[in-house]
Structure 1
Amino acid sequence: MAAYRIVFANEKGGSGKSTTAVHTAVALAARGRRVAAIDLDTRQRTLGRYLENRAALMKRDGVDLPLPVHETFDPAAGHSIESRMDALAADADILVIDTPGRDDDHVRVAISTADTLVTPINDSFVDLDLIGQVDPDSYKIRRPSFYAELVWDARKARGKRDGATVDWVVLRNRLQHLEARNMRRVAAALAELSKRVGFRVIPGLSERVVYRELFPKGLTLLDLGAIGQDAGMAHVAARGELRELIAGLQLPDPESGRARAA
């Protein structure tokens, strides 16, 4: 069976896209899935560097941690993005694809191959503007924005190629730092927009210092016990968010191959 492809994409930076992609890949690998990952951001290489740091820690300290097969795409190597994704997917159950915070041909190809497209956004109207323009007085959606149109085109390309659909998931990150009225307005606008352009909304990861602290060693929230570090209350809460995020993706059952739950 072909590897299930999860693409993390958002043209706006600072949404926690790469952090979410890494944690998703490692969490699925920890559950016994054969996970591969590819970083299409040849400049920042956050996902690639994160997993390289992880491999270096495992070698240096002799610890055994789940580690997805991974690479950072290099267009100068002369390989097409399709061929590199296919090569990584060949021996995997799941391929996680992290994209740069910009629009380019490689990102569009990746989205058009996605089974699940994850768009993390900070819970604000600034980020919401990426996918829908909001009336400043009523806070109602005026019309979908350019990114929604890009996804629409990618979905049409996927349907034309093999008849499959792209499950678009909008991930609401950093919920806790907004006052309640603004949260309600953003939630209402997202609910309205989701019906118009066809995406699901699930909760993501809160803003926590721990994510920035873990990066240099390539660790995730799931690894603290393996390295002998006790988890504080913030870590426990963050792990709960991660579990909820993975459940919200509604990935196929690895044993039965059933489609995503309704």
Structure 2
Amino acid sequence: MSVTMEQAEDTARIIVVGNEKGGSGKSTTAMHMIAALLNNGYRVAALDLDARQATLSHYLANRKNFTERKGVHLPMPAFDAILPSTNADRVAAKAEDEARVAEAVNRLTAQNDFLVIDTPGSDSFLGRIGHSYADVLITPLNDSFVDLDILAAVNPETYEVARPGQYAQIVFESKMIRAKRVGMNRTFDWIVMRNRLGQLDSKNQQAMEKAVTALARRIGFRTAPGFSERVIFRELFLDGLTLLDLRKAKTGVRMSMSHVAARQEVRNLLQIIGLPVAES
């Protein structure tokens, strides 16, 4: 199941960006999903469940400040952020977290076409709740066996998958929670995007390709090429911009070949996921 324009007309679609390992590019991915949908005229909401780290929250605040400082119009999503409950009683804290996420999801989906949820880069109850609301789960993964370890244990000699990892188990449990809420015949589309791919076809890259392909068949996800390691992604964060905003934002930045290549990476990802891409 991929997100399509026709599906979005019937009911709000929820895109969750999640990975238990930090530094994988979750917030950058989430922001580009948000910008792509906004630029296509959709009503979009964003929910930050990683409000302690608050990268997505800061990204959107930077975007608002940029529009006010430069006097340009850039579309903004409806936005909410949720911090974990401070209740000392663990059971009560979980109940509070679950109720607040449910309220935010119901409110934001009632008023918008898409909801994009950014989740913490560690195992947390808020993160697990967020995963259980996904129609599409996008997992950014650095192209490294260090990062792959959370998805699966890999045989060091054959690069074959020995067993699923801890995050794969979390995704499976989230699917079960979602099935209980909305029905056993409904699951979510899981896409693993390989970030920071090397420019050259290395032995490590070939081994990762083999391992990820085997794991995709075993535990049921699709793969997509992600974003290369480029300075432009870090630079745009300070102004709350994405590669899809540069012309509208009138930044005066000249599009280099690196910028063009990076924007094409974003477009390729959006097309694989099934999201519309506006000209920019």
Q: Deviations over 1:160-181 (max 9, x none)?
A: 2212111111010011256521
Under a length normalisation based on structure 2, what TM-score does the superposition of the two structures give? 0.86
CA distance in 1: counterparts of 2:218 and 2:156, whole angstroms? 19
Question: Alignment partner for residue 264 of structure 2, among 240, 251, 261?
Answer: 240
Give 3-state SS (helix, strand or coil) of 1:7's partner.
strand
What is aligned with 1:161? 181
TM-score of the superposed pair, with normalisation by structure 1: 0.91
Once the two structures are superposed, residues 186-240 of structure 1 have per-residue CA deviations (whole angstroms, 9 ceiling, x without a partner) of 0111111111110000011111001111111111112222214321111111110
Extract structure 1 runs of 4+ deviating beyond 6 A: none
Give 2:236's aligned residue.
Answer: 214
> Equivalent pairs: percent with the same residue?
49
Range with greater deviation from structure 2 (61-70 or 94-103): 61-70
Matched, 1:192 2:214: yes
Give the 3 Å change call, closer, same or farther, for CA 235–200 of structure 1 in structure 2: same
CA distance in 1, matches of 2:245, 2:134: 28
Following the alignment from structure 1 to structure 2, what is the Cα–Cα distance between the partners of residues 39 and 107? 10
Root mean square deviation of aligned Cα: 1.8
1:130 match: secondary structure: coil
Of 207, 210, 223, 1:201 maps to 223
The 5 Å alignment of 1:37-52 reads 37-52=46-61
**How far 1:251 moved relative to its partner?**
4.6
Point out where structure 2 has 5 or more consecutive residues left out of the alignment.
Answer: 1-9, 87-95
Number of residues paired by the alignment?
253
> In the alignment, residue 239 of structure 1 is paired with which amino acid?
R
Structure 2 residue aligned with 1:89:
109
Distance 1:178 1:71, change over 3 A: farther
After superposing the two structures, state which structure 1 stretch, 150-159 or 221-230, moved more. Answer: 221-230
Which one is further off, 142-151 or 179-188? 179-188
Equivalent residue letter for 2:198: Q
Q: Which residue of 1 aligns with 2:5?
A: none
Q: Which runs of 5+ in 1 are unaligned?
A: 253-262
Please point out which of 7, 13, 25 is paired with 1:4: 13
Identify which range, 23-32 or 227-236, moves more after superposition: 227-236
Instruction: Identify the range of structure 1 (229-238 vs 241-250) with the bigger mean alpha-carbon deviation.
Output: 229-238
